[in-house]
Structure 1
């Protein structure tokens, strides 16, 4: 079945926007992609509970490509804390596999709408308030970082985000400089996405009601178009992060997140009542 040109344009615009935001704010773009992909799928007759799961899985898959493009630009500026990446990655992989292989497939679609809305609200609140950490607080030791990585990977697997909505507030809370936190979060997006996507593909085999060009929970047209466009824009966003007043941008972006959270809450209430 051919893919209509209007769909390609919609997905391309979404990819350009999320790629830029991924580089600018260290997010994987899932908080923007999931509401829009679920709406696009819903408009093509996919049942709401399945649409949100496919949107989450497809969003996560695009982060594999966005992360590589974004982190290259951040690394060139020496902003990535690779010591933190190495410490968090093992826990991230474990948490992601638990979420995508088990809990994700078991949760009803309505519940995922509510979970997504809650964590987008949390992330938006952190960005808007821009709370300052205690000056003496530091990153925890290896066991603490392993546990933190597990939480980041698990929550990312449930909502299809690259982990920036948890990892950036966590690192800044531990007095990691904001530019380092954003860059390091971009680097963490790769292990988060890779582990979760493996789980989504395995858990989604044999599903009924999938749209054309689906591979498990992944919707391949969205993956190809969004990833292609987001990879182009992520380096531009990363460069802008080092030149623009990020605090003000974070507050504007927080308002966008609150709007998306209300939309997903509304969709969850509709799915629960269906």
Structure 2
């Protein structure tokens, strides 16, 4: 199955990012710690260019800690500052602010040498839909100033937010890219919630997720659902649904209900801490 989602407001958002990049001192690129590679918009590197950048791995509480450390080392070796953050607890945000102020201080020094008036450090927040950009801004601002939601596509326009830390932040809409060359990238974006559920096949997502977990996290499914993992993915979904008592009229197995529960519990972290992008 093909996973694609590129509504018209994303085209506008991409243009908005390009037009406003010159107004900021640095970029905070927010990635999903469960899919650090798949959640990187390939267009962002070209758009951002040489602008200073800090990568934030959000939802680290849902990701495999060992795999997250490997990804931090990966980005660091590629000369990109990278910090894991828990946007619910606020873990890692002090380090983000410290790095941002460090970059801002260098910019301000250059401005003073040119005779320009000192101003707050300006940051642009970039990332795919539903990765936590607005939640990040609310945490940094210590108040609810950016609209949030657990579905992709909440932010539709840019927002400038001032904080008490001599920082100004620009929230931008989540932007995907027109075509996913690898359908597994599309699957990973969909199963983590970056693509609207209404336009994807939840059954297909469940099959792929089951197979991935069987291959890379053996025993995890059986621990959660009490069903042995010695079957195919479609057979496992049916067995899971039967075990949970998901039945339709006529006493037939409602495996679609099972698929929805599996995907939801994965997103909620009830299956354990899982990373889908592996190095």
TM-score, normalisation: structure 1 = 0.26
Larger Rg, first or second structure (1 or 2) = 2
Structure scoring higher RCO (CA < 8 A, sep ≥ 6) equals: 1
Q: Could you say which structure has the higher strand fraction?
A: 2
TM-score normalised by the chain length of structure 2: 0.26
